Amino acid sequence: MQREKGESLLSPLILAFSSSFMFGLKRILLLNIVCGVMGCSHELPTVQVLQSPPSPSPVAARTASLLRGIDVSHYNGDLVQEVDSSDQLSFMIIKATEGVSLVDPRFTTNWKTAGEKRMIRGAYHFYRADEDPVQQVEHFLSTISEVGTLEIAPIVDVEQGSLPGGVTVNREELQTDLLIFLQTLKSRTNRAPILYTGRAFGNNYLNDSRLGGYRLWLAEYTSNPEPVLPLAWRSSGYMMWQKSETYSVHSKPTDYDIFRGSREELLS
């Protein structure tokens, strides 16, 4: 419908609003007069204002996939051969060397078999506190170079068995030599090594904060949802957790390890 110039659709609405407004105003004035005379009291109705829901608090925890694995040496015999898809394992960590001369007799076989089973593979060196740290690095690297490129970063195992029997160990010297080992290994491989130890041994012998800068593979056998960390790693946490030494692969016992993260993170 075409309208005359100056005519607006709002005009009837404005007139209606004005009439309603004046009627309401008269009622309010009348109420105030009555209450003033009679002394009545009244309160204006409370108006509730709808507010936006509060923003959720930041969530620090992240969800992550869980990768399961085992670690093996010649003590486990042919256990790697027994692993199949029903075990739901993603990675294996295989002993390569110990000290300055020992090579695990099943290292090459275990490494090859784990690869055939499409496992993510890692190799570890068992550290001897009474042997030269640089020579131990050389021995470790010489051995693992024969099987190709490492997948998981190189690992050093330091525990009670690393200490010479019947000899008092100087903790400062142990840590100094271990740091030399780790720094040499890092410079030679261009990858930050991983350090394996248990909570008690870590607290007794590995309390240098510099060691806490290396990623930890923690041995802590407990049914609790999370392990208790050695003091040097309280702020940095652990990378992998060896949470049982009685995991069974077709009735053969071995250590059970978990990694919370992706395949890419495990390989970093």
pLDDT tens digits, one per residue of 174-193: 999 999 999 999 999 999 99
Q: Would the pLDDT of 58 be above 60? A: no
pLDDT tens digits, one per residue of 223-262: 999 999 999 999 999 999 999 998 888 878 899 999 999 9
232: tokens are 């040097």
- Least trusted range by pLDDT, from 4-8, 53-57, 114-118, 144-148: 53-57
Confidence of residue 64 (pLDDT cuts 50, 70, 90): low
| Average pLDDT for 104-132 | 97
What the chain holds in terms of domains, given with CATH numbers, is 66-266 (3.20.20.80)
**Tokens 């923003």 — which residue?**
55
What whole-number distance in Å separates Cα of residue 33 and Cα of residue 28?
Answer: 9
Which residues partner with 112 through β-bridges? none
Cα-based distances in Å from 139 to 125, 200, 213: 9, 28, 24
What whole-number distance in Å separates Cα of residue 111 and Cα of residue 67?
Answer: 19
Element (H, E) at 215: strand 215-219
- Least trusted range by pLDDT, from 59-68, 189-198, 248-257: 59-68
Residue 167 has a pLDDT of 84
Contact 251, 76 (CB under 8 A): no
Residue 4 has a pLDDT of 35
What whole-number distance in Å separates Cα of residue 12 and Cα of residue 16?
Answer: 6
Q: What is the DSSP letter of 185?
A: H
| Average pLDDT for 8-20 | 41
151: tokens are 């997948």
* Average pLDDT, rounded, for the chain: 82
Residue 36 has a pLDDT of 52
What whole-number distance in Å separates Cα of residue 240 and Cα of residue 47?
Answer: 57
